Amino acid sequence: MDEPIGALVFVYFVYGLAHFVMGVAVALETGRASQSRFLHALPFLAAFGITHAINEWAEMFEEMAAYLPGLPQDTLWLGMFRLGWKALSFFLLLEFGARLLIRLLPQSKQSLRRVYALVIFIYLAILLAMFLRALPHLPTPALLMWWTNYALGIPASVLTVIAFLAQRRAFLQENLPQFGRDLVGAALAIGWYCLLDQVIDVTVPIFPANLLNADSFARVMGLPVEIFRVVAILALAFFVIRSLRVFEVEYARRLEAAQRARFEAQEQATRELSVMFETCRLLGTSLDMHQLVNDFIHQILAGLDAIVGATVYLYDSATGELKIFSRRVRQGYELTLPQIECSRYAARRAFETCETAYEHEPVSGLAFVSVPLMARNKIIGVLCLAHQQAFANYTVIQTLAQQLGIALENARLYSELQEKEKLRGQLLERAIAAQEEERKRIARELHDETGQLLTALAAGLGGVEQTILQDPERAQYQVAELKNITMHAIEGLRQFVSDLRPTLLDDLGLVAALRWFVERFKERTHLNVEFQVVGTRARLAPQVETVLFRIAQEGLNNVGRHARATRAIVRLEFVDALARLVIEDDGRGFDVNRVLSARAEQRAWGLLGIQERVALVGGKLRVDSAPGQGTRLVVEIPLGAQPDVSQGGSGVE
């Protein structure tokens, strides 16, 4: 008997060792960093292997205690221990199968949890019923072992087989067929294990255990069933351990994917840097706004594959709205009306908040990012890009938008400079023409009035020379007439000189000259004009006084020629280190922006001349007017270090 007993003990040892090795091998793999659903269920398979190994070794000690006289013969506690550990191992196997299936088939999560709970409930309920009916005598160990095998072991094994087959399908979908074959072997091994360990086990007077049991198997096969159990569990351990190599392949794939992603990221970063460099270079090659924007959009669409469309909005100060300056879409794409509305909404939000705005058009899946275009801490427009969801590097777009904003502002300033140079040339031409006209007028007036008077004076003197000896009285009368002619000529010359530049401006200053001019204007036009002086009067630099006097002349002449006004006010203010000249009327007014931006033949050259005069002395000009609401012209010139020579008095005249 000793030899068969020793062989059976060895079989139990190997059987438990196979479970233990499988459990430890699986446990060692659970520490890997992996996203695999298989890995998250493996700790319960590892716990099953180790727990069931302890159960088999306990059975080995139970066999040894029954046949070896040196060991204790009362093994009831060992049998109960075996029963508990076997039930625990089956519970862990059931948990493994349920968890793996829940992760592989999330749509069946509730059903699987119900099956799991039902199995546990039925097992515990029948077990409790057995104890209650058997009291005061406990149920036999064989009956308890049979119920544990059939109520826990078989469902756990079946669920594990299904889980292995489901995981095999997942491996096939992940292009890992070799591990799918290993799981098929593991599923078959679990099936044989279920048959040999749970079905063919203890003998009880209940079908099918009364027919399929370890004793009947030994009689038919001539070998104990434990040997075949060892083969089944060794096969299970073999296939499970082989399937664990999937994590090495997964790690290699993840490493390769990470390297590929890093390479692609480096390539993308290089491409984006190239786009940024080339775009910034293009922005510095031209000062034409249309060419700048077109080259900018073309470079972005050519260099950034995820970008499918670009729109540049610029702020129109005249209307107070964002207007499309340029839009371009990649070939093969066409923006629909909802996409255009989405782009406009994102652009408006970016403009109002001065921050990057994002919008998603759900139908097409396109996303829109709008970045404010800033220049000198002021928003001048918005860059809106349509891109696929894969694009996420908005830093590049924000950098490019910043460069575009600066380039557009430089182009605008250059355009304004060119326009001013052109306007200055036109003003110079008109000034030269006006000078020539003025010279013609002076020559004509000198010829027609002063020249004729001097000619008459010369002729009269000749007559006096002839009659002074013959008729002294007549000569005396002629001298008196010539004196009147001379005085009339002198008065005409004085008036002429006064019109060219009033002497009051040089002798008494700006206030006296403006009052004199306003009075003369009232007499000439019969318009109600009020002249006011506010603040402490001070003499200004001659150039400044001349500029303000000429602006007042031009302003009132414009009122007389164009305004159709009934009342006007000329106010000179000395406040806050400023000399402020205000000219107001209640006339018909005009559209300031339209007049200032009109074509050359329709421009208000008088107003443009005023702008130039104000700019020469470092002042500011503001024109407030609207059709039907009159006009208010305000000129402000800093006093600076001007002489503070009081002209007496203060207040309002």
Report how far apart, in Å, the C-alpha atoms of 250 and of each of 171, 174, 256 are.
Answer: 11, 10, 10
Helices (H), 373-471: 394-445, 452-467
Q: Kindly state the percentage of the chain with pLDDT values over 90.
A: 4
Choose among 26, 15, 4, 93: nearest CA to 54: 15
Reported as half-sphere exposure (CB side, CA atoms, 13 A), residue 107 has a value of 0
Max Cα distance, the chain (Å): 192
Ranges of each domain in the chain: 2-244, 272-415, 506-638
Cross-strand bridge partners of residue 638: 578
Q: Is the pLDDT of residue 642 over 50?
A: no
Q: Is the pLDDT of residue 149 over 70?
A: yes
Instruction: Name the band, by pLDDT with cuts 50, 70 and 90, for residue 160.
Output: very high
Q: Which of 248-252, 269-273, 277-281, 302-306 has the highest mean pLDDT?
A: 248-252
Kindly report the average pLDDT of the chain as a whole number.
78
How is residue 632 annotated by DSSP?
E
How do residues 260-275 score in pLDDT, each as one tens digit? 878 876 776 676 666 6
Instruction: Name the band, by pLDDT with cuts 50, 70 and 90, for residue 430.
Output: low
Question: Mean pLDDT, to the nearest integer, of 527-546?
Answer: 84
Confidence (pLDDT) at 653: 35
Q: Which helix (H) or strand (E) holds 29?
A: helix 2-29
Q: What is the amino acid identity at position 502?
A: P
How do residues 49-72 score in pLDDT, each as one tens digit? 888 888 888 777 777 766 655 555
Q: Higher-confidence residue: 328 or 605?
A: 328
Confidence (pLDDT) at 3: 43
- Helices vs. strands in the chain: H and E counts, helices first: 20, 10
Choose among 227, 217, 219: nearest CA to 11: 227
Instruction: Name the band, by pLDDT with cuts 50, 70 and 90, for residue 495.
Output: low
Instruction: Name the band, by pLDDT with cuts 50, 70 and 90, for residue 14.
Output: confident
Q: Is the pLDDT of residue 5 over 70?
A: no
Q: Higher-confidence residue: 639 or 368?
A: 368
Q: Do domains 2-244 and 506-638 have the same CATH topology?
A: no
Tokens representing residue 404 in the block: 């575009």
Q: Is the whole-model pTM more than 0.85? A: no
> CA 148 to CA 88: how far, in whole Å?
10
- Whether 171 and 246 have beta carbons less than 8 Å apart is answered as yes
Question: Mean pLDDT, to the nearest integer, of 216-225?
Answer: 86
Choose among 114, 85, 113, 120: nearest CA to 99: 113
- Angle among Cα 25, 26, 31 to the nearest 5 degrees reads 105
> CA 199 to CA 209: how far, in whole Å?
7
Residue keyed to tokens 């060692």 = 28
> CA 321 to CA 314: how far, in whole Å?
8
Q: Is the pLDDT of residue 81 over 70?
A: yes
Confidence (pLDDT) at 647: 40
Instruction: Name the band, by pLDDT with cuts 50, 70 and 90, for residue 602.
Output: very low
Question: Mean pLDDT, to the nearest integer, of 106-110?
Answer: 85
CATH classification (class only), 2-244: mainly alpha
Residue keyed to tokens 């002629």 = 478
> HEC states along 268-285?
HHHHHHHHHHHHHHHHCC
- Whether 477 and 467 have beta carbons less than 8 Å apart is answered as no
Q: Is the pLDDT of residue 539 over 90?
A: no
How would you classify the pairing of strands 578-585 and 367-375?
unpaired
Per the CATH hierarchy, to which homologous superfamily does domain 272-415 belong?
GAF domain (3.30.450.40)
Instruction: Name the band, by pLDDT with cuts 50, 70 and 90, for residue 505.
Output: confident
Confidence (pLDDT) at 155: 92
> Is 506-638 assigned to CATH 3.30.565.10?
yes
Confidence (pLDDT) at 649: 35
How do residues 450-482 score in pLDDT, each as one tens digit? 666 677 777 777 777 677 777 777 777 777 777
Least reliable range by pLDDT among 307-316, 486-495, 592-601? 592-601
Q: Is the pLDDT of residue 293 over 50?
A: yes
What contacts 78, CB < 8 A, 6 or more positions away? 58, 61, 62, 65
- Whether 614 and 546 have beta carbons less than 8 Å apart is answered as no
Q: Is the pLDDT of residue 161 over 90?
A: yes
Confidence (pLDDT) at 69: 58
Question: Mean pLDDT, to the nearest integer, of 137-147?
Answer: 77
Q: Higher-confidence residue: 163 or 363?
A: 163
Confidence (pLDDT) at 422: 72
How do residues 228-249 score in pLDDT, each as one tens digit? 888 888 888 888 888 888 878 8
- Angle among Cα 627, 629, 631 to the nearest 5 degrees reads 90
What contacts 248, CB < 8 A, 6 or more positions away? none
What contacts 51, CB < 8 A, 6 or more positions away? 23, 85, 88, 89, 92
What are the phi and psi torsion angles at 333 (to 5°)?
A: -110, 155
3-state secondary structure at position 50? helix
Confidence (pLDDT) at 158: 92
Choose among 557, 538, 574: nearest CA to 610: 557
Confidence (pLDDT) at 159: 92
What contacts 535, CB < 8 A, 6 or more positions away? 573, 574, 575, 650
Q: What is the amino acid identity at position 189?
A: A
Q: Write out the E strands in 10-119.
A: none
Sheet containing 307-316: give its strands across.
Answer: 321-329, 307-316, 378-387, 367-375, 357-360
Q: Higher-confidence residue: 79 or 181?
A: 181
Choose among 336, 333, 313, 332: nearest CA to 323: 313
How do residues 375-429 score in pLDDT, each as one tens digit? 878 888 888 888 876 555 677 777 777 777 888 878 778 777 777 777 666 656 6
Q: Is the pLDDT of residue 485 over 80?
A: no
Q: Kindly state the percentage of the chain with pLDDT values over 70.
A: 79
Report the C-alpha dihedral over residues 27, 116, 140, 49, rounded to 10 degrees: -10
Confidence (pLDDT) at 154: 92
3-state secondary structure at position 539? coil
Cross-strand bridge partners of residue 534: 573
Q: Higher-confidence residue: 35 or 253?
A: 253
